């Protein structure tokens, strides 16, 4: 089996992910649907050979010790990929995520107009959240590119791995990759703050140290963009606070209330009106009322504040999903399946 045939098939199908498992045909994910490629089954020897072709010596060494490794690789013809190699049933398997190289303009992503306004913020913390594959990296790259075209500033990104290759325009942009350019997000962020940045992108706030440093960076006058694997705004706030020991939670509520500017929560849907995907987006803007709710541990009231502030650009996830359904972009079953309150949304869609 020729490895490049697999890459070509996935590229021509606009696949987001490729899965190569011994004893199966190569499989790909296209617009969230997993489907087999029209190619022969691969053997354990095939997969082991593919791994040897694309993994660095360091990645292969880690794999020998841990039976799992993450790395990225580039193919001149078909682009860049983020790869996880792992063992299953005593043979190597590969999971590959396609890394898009062309940054789409922010206005082309079917996002609410308020997202564009966030690129004018001078400081603070902006979080883009959602499940894996919900478009968080694309949204952040488009926001960074919008600022790159507008400002003369210094931008540092800390990523795992570097996905979109950002080209300095008016801004000076540095991109650092986990494992290659820094040992951890926390280490990269700690040192980034000594490198005179105006804007810092942290690929993921995945631990307490990284989260604490990101909030401190926002407190000291930087604009910090990052992601979390949470599905809505109130859950995002609680996730951050729950990272801290109980004795520090009141303090972090006060710090978060002072630094958080917005939470953008995305869910991607397969379009039914035409080919492609469309996001449903919840937006929380940190008004004085929202800051008080965070400070006073009343985050359960955040959904009510979102619903009553649609005029300034806030929107709940269920409202965004409902709007996509009524505009004929997504189906009813998909809408209800992804809703935060499926019973309530079902009644609204039936009305």
Considering the domain architecture, whether residues 156 and 226 belong to the same structural domain is answered as yes
Q: Rounded to 5 degrees, what angle do the CA atoms 101, 202, 177 make?
A: 55
- Count CB atoms within 10 A of the CB of residue 70: 17
Domain extent for 54: 3-99
167: CATH: 3.40.50.300
The verdict on 80 and 184 lying in the same domain is: no
Choose the final residue of a domain: 99, 125, 140.
Answer: 99
Angle among Cα 304, 309, 237 to the nearest 5 degrees reads 55
What strands lie across the sheet with 79-88, from one edge to the other?
33-36, 27-30, 17-21, 91-99, 79-88, 68-75
Q: Are residues 154 and 182 in the same domain?
A: yes
Q: In angstroms, rounded to a whole number, what is the distance separating the alpha carbons of residues 32 and 189?
A: 33
pLDDT per residue rounded down to tens, the chain (351 residues): 899 999 999 999 999 999 999 999 999 999 888 999 999 999 999 999 999 999 999 999 999 999 999 988 889 899 889 899 999 999 999 999 998 778 999 999 999 999 999 999 999 999 999 998 899 999 999 999 999 999 999 999 999 888 888 999 999 999 999 888 999 999 999 999 999 999 999 999 999 999 999 999 999 999 999 999 999 999 999 999 999 999 999 999 999 999 999 999 999 999 999 888 999 999 999 999 999 999 999 999 999 999 999 999 999 999 999 999 999 999 999 999 999 999 999 999 987
Distance (Å, whole) CA 198 – CA 156: 8
- State whether 198 and 316 are in the same domain: yes
Question: Can you give the pLDDT at residue 200?
Answer: 98
Q: Do the beta carbons of residue 162 and residue 187 sit within 8 Å?
A: no
127 and 224 fall within a common domain: yes
């Amino acid at each position: 089996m020729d490895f490049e045939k697999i890459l070509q098939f996935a590229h021509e199908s606009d696949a987001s992910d490729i899965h190569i498992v011994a004893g199966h045909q190569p499989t790909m994910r296209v617009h969230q649907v997993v489907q087999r490629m029209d190619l022969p089954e691969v053997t354990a020897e095939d997969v082991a050979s593919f791994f040897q072709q694309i993994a660095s010596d360091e990645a292969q060494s880690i794999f020998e010790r841990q039976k799992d490794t993450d790395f990225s690789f580039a193919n001149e013809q078909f682009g860049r990929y983020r790869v996880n190699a792992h063992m299953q049933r005593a043979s190597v398997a590969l999971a590959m995520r396609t890394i898009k190289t062309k940054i789409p303009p922010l206005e082309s992503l079917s996002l609410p107009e308020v997202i564009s306004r966030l690129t004018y913020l001078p400081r603070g913390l902006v979080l883009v959240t959602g499940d894996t594959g919900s478009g968080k990296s694309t949204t952040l790259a488009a926001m960074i590119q919008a600022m790159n075209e507008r400002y003369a500033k210094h931008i540092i990104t800390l990523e795992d791995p570097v996905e979109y290759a950002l080209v300095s325009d008016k801004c000076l942009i540095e991109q650092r990759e986990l494992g290659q350019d820094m040992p951890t997000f926390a280490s990269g962020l700690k040192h980034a703050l000594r490198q005179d940045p105006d804007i810092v992108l942290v690929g993921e706030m995945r631990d307490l140290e990284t989260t604490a440093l990101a909030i401190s960076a926002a407190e000291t006058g930087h604009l910090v963009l990052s992601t979390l694997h949470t599905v809505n705004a109130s859950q995002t706030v609680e996730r951050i606070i729950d990272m801290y020991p109980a004795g520090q939670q009141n303090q972090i509520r006060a710090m978060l209330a002072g630094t958080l500017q917005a939470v953008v929560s995305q869910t991607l849907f397969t379009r039914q009106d035409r080919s492609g995907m469309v996001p449903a987006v919840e937006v929380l803007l940190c008004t004085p009322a929202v800051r008080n709710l965070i400070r006073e541990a009343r985050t359960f009231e955040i959904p009510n504040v979102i619903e009553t502030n649609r005029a300034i650009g806030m929107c709940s996830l269920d409202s965004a999903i409902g709007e996509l359904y009524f505009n004929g972009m997504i189906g009813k079953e998909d809408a209800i399946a992804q809703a935060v309150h499926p019973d309530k949304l079902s009644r609204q869609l039936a009305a």
